[in-house]
């Protein structure tokens, strides 16, 4: 099992051949997207995001409950047999796009996009049965790390040792920067198993010997906590060892895709804010949106955003079809490369084109600027991903 390996090195990088014109969203997908847009527009506007940022928990618990209960988003990509809707990557991507656009503060990404994906792709039958129905019902919050490249994952797993004692797994070590630990029901961590190999373990945050050190981060919209484990008893080993190698590749690919979708939404919001602001801001007797220096920069943002949208939707459609893991890993890494670069680009352009007010706390570009920088390295920064892609293309 190789966490963070990203793209299998034996992949030739041959793009899929298929051509199909059904690239358009179906009616259900349009309904999901429109519902997400409308719901998050109401509950996660700028004022709501700022309230969440100022709160102790970091998000509005009632919004999270509605997401899990009335909207059913937590089970979108979970099989019907496990209480989900049995839909897939395309639907989850559409929700994530809106979540990113509205800077949704909620433990949705870690729990639904990463933990549930890992459980499905590499979890044992016991772990799946135990966690997935509860996640689908919106009743479970799971914290986990979002390390960057392969080295970071390996280093993290090596810094945590798992021993089998009296029929239980006991963990010792430290894991930096788990996301959404506040009020989490479980922490998912990779550890090195005494005697060889890696395993994925679930730990209850109240377990004896666990030390939690919240990080005060510039981006408060997704919070991180350093974790110390001193002979902490794990609840369960999650991975099924024979599924783990392929499962990690698929989980990481999809987690990158869902993150890219979120970044796409954020980049779009940066552009929308900028177009709206420059249409009302007057200098030299006219709206600054009429100056070509401004128009062209907005147009460049749109080019990058639509390119990213094509990449994200294309990778999602590929993930929803029959695809080998090597191809999937490349398509999702591709989407994440563009997402990391595009979101940051659009956030910095939004600040610049808002002028003085873009530099203030009061206007929203700063929120996206901070999220864009933080998100740029989650699950691999663009340089790491380009290096992974190059390995697949050139070696």
Q: Does 22 bind other proteins (CB under 8 A)?
A: yes
| Closest C-alpha to 273, from 388, 157, 102, 149 | 102
Interface with other proteins in residues 179-218 (CB under 8 A): none
Smallest distance, other proteins to C-beta of residue 35, A: 18
Q: Which CB atom, from 78 or from 335, has the smaller least distance to other proteins?
A: 335
Helical H runs in 196-237? none
Exposure string over 167-193, b if 16+ CB within 10 A, otherwise e: eebbbbbebbbbbbbbebbbbbbbbbb
| Closest C-alpha to 126, from 255, 251, 243, 209 | 243
Q: Does 270 bind other proteins (CB under 8 A)?
A: no
Strand partners, 190: 200
Q: Which CB atom, from 226 or from 300, has the smaller least distance to other proteins?
A: 300
Helix/strand/coil (H, E, C) string of 127-156?
A: HHHHHHHHHHCCCCCEEEECCCCHHHHHHH
Q: Does 31 bind other proteins (CB under 8 A)?
A: no
- Out of 122, 229, 316, 367, name the contact with other proteins by CB under 8 A: 316
Q: Does 310 bind other proteins (CB under 8 A)?
A: yes
Candidates 46-54, 191-199, 221-229, 299-307: pick the segment binding other proteins (CB under 8 A). Answer: 299-307
Neighbours of 322 (CB within 10 A): 7
Exposure string over 144-166, b if 16+ CB within 10 A, otherwise e: bbbbbbbebbbebbebbebeeee
Q: Which CB atom, from 164 or from 282, has the smaller least distance to other proteins?
A: 282
Q: Does 142 bind other proteins (CB under 8 A)?
A: no
Q: Does 390 bind other proteins (CB under 8 A)?
A: yes
Using alpha carbons only, give the angle 53, 59, 65 rounded to the nearest 5 degrees: 165
Interface with other proteins in residues 53-112 (CB under 8 A): 90
Q: Does 275 bind other proteins (CB under 8 A)?
A: yes
Chain residues binding other proteins by CB under 8 A are 13, 15-26, 29, 90, 271, 275, 278-279, 287, 289-290, 292, 294-296, 298-300, 302-303, 306-311, 313-318, 320-322, 331, 334, 337-338, 383, 385-387, 389-390, 393-394
């Amino acid at each position: 099992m190789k966490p963070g390996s990203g793209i299998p090195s034996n992949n030739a990088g041959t793009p899929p051949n298929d051509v199909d014109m059904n690239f358009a969203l179906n009616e259900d997908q349009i309904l999901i997207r429109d519902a997400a847009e409308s719901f998050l527009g109401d509950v996660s506007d700028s004022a709501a995001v700022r309230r969440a940022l100022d709160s102790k928990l970091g998000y509005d618990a009632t919004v999270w409950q509605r997401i899990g209960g009335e909207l059913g988003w937590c089970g979108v990509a979970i099989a019907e047999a496990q209480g989900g809707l049995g839909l897939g990557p395309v639907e989850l991507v559409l929700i994530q796009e809106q979540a990113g656009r509205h800077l949704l503060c909620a433990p949705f990404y870690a729990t639904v996009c990463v933990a549930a994906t890992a459980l499905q792709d590499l979890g044992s039958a016991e772990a799946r049965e135990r966690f997935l129905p509860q996640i689908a019902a919106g009743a479970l919050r799971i914290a986990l790390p979002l390390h960057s490249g392969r080295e970071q994952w390996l280093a993290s797993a090596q810094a945590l040792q798992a021993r089998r004692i009296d029929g239980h797994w006991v963990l010792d070590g430290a894991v930096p920067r788990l996301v959404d630990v506040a009020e989490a029901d479980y922490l998912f961590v990779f550890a090195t198993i005494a005697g060889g190999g890696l395993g994925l373990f679930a730990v209850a945050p109240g377990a004896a010997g666990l030390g939690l050190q919240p990080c005060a981060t510039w981006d408060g919209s997704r919070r991180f906590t350093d974790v110390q484990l001193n002979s902490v008893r794990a609840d369960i080993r999650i991975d099924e060892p024979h599924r783990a190698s392929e499962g990690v590749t698929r989980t990481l690919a999809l987690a990158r895709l869902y993150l890219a979708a979120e970044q796409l939404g954020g980049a779009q919001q940066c552009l929308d804010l900028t177009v709206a602001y420059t249409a009302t801001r007057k200098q030299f007797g006219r709206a600054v949106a009429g100056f070509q220096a401004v128009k062209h920069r907005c147009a460049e943002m749109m080019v990058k955003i639509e390119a990213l949208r094509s990449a994200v939707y294309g990778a999602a459609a590929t993930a929803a079809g029959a695809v080998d893991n090597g191809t999937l890993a490349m398509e999702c890494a591709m989407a994440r490369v563009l997402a990391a670069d595009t979101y940051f680009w659009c956030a910095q352009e939004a600040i610049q084109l808002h002028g003085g007010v873009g530099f203030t706390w009061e206007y929203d570009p700063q929120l996206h600027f901070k999220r864009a920088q933080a998100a740029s390295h989650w699950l691999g920064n663009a340089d790491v991903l380009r290096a992974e892609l190059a390995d697949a293309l050139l070696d």
